[in-house]
Homo-oligomer: A and B are copies of this chain.
Amino acid sequence: MVLSGIWKRPENSKDPPPDLRISHAKELEPDAVQDLCASVGWSRREPALVSKALNNSVAVVSVWDKDVMVGFARATGDMVFNATIWDVVVRPTYQRCGVGLLVMRELLIELDSFDIPLVTLYADPGTDGFYKRFGFLTDPSGVRGMFREKL
C-alpha cells in the first residue's frame, strides 16, 4: 500500500478520531472495499469486478484505521478534460468527524495534479451541501444529471 500522509484532526471536527492512514493505491483488497460498502448498505459485487473497476479508475483514495478501511472514494475519467467521482463512503462509526472531508480533499488533490479542468459527481439527496464545500455547483447552467440503468 502506498501511503501519502498521516491524517490530522480537522479544526472543526466534533469528535477526535484516531490517527488514520491515507492511501492513493488502486490495488486494494476487494474484500476491504466491499466490507466498507456493506457497512452503509451497498450491495456486494464480484471481487474480480471490483478490482477491475479500481484499476480502471483514474484516482482512488482510501482511509484506514489500522487494517480497517473507514473511508473511500474514486474517480473515473479521461485524464485530460474531465473526471467523475463515484462511491464516496465513510464507515458509519467514523462519520461526522472529518473522514469524508479528508477523502474528498485527497481525491481532488490527485485529480488536480492531472490538471483536469472539470470534475463532476452525482450527489445523493441531502449531500449537495457537503460537496459545495469543495466548490461543486448543482445543475450549473441548467445542466441535468441523467441515468440509464440496464435491467
Contact = CB atoms under 8 A, between A and B. Distances in A.
B143 A145 contact: yes
A147 B120 contact: yes
A134 B78 CA distance: 24
A3 interface: no
Q: For A45, A115, A149, which residue has the most chain B Cβ atoms within 10 angstroms?
A: A149
Interface string A67-80: 00000000011111
A147 B136 contact: yes
Given A52-B78, A53-B80, A80-B52, A143 B125 contact: yes
Interface string A14-35: 0000000000000000000000
Interface residues of A, number: 49
Nearest to A122: B143
A77 B108 CA distance: 18
Interface of A: 45, 49-50, 52-54, 56-57, 76-82, 84, 86, 108, 112, 115-125, 128, 131, 134-150
Given A116-B150, A139-B146, 18 more contacts: A52-B79, A53-B79, A56-B77, A56-B78, A76-B82, A78-B86, A84-B84, A118-B149, A122-B144, A123-B144, A123-B146, A124-B142, A125-B141, A125-B142, A136-B147, A140-B147, A143-B145, A144-B145
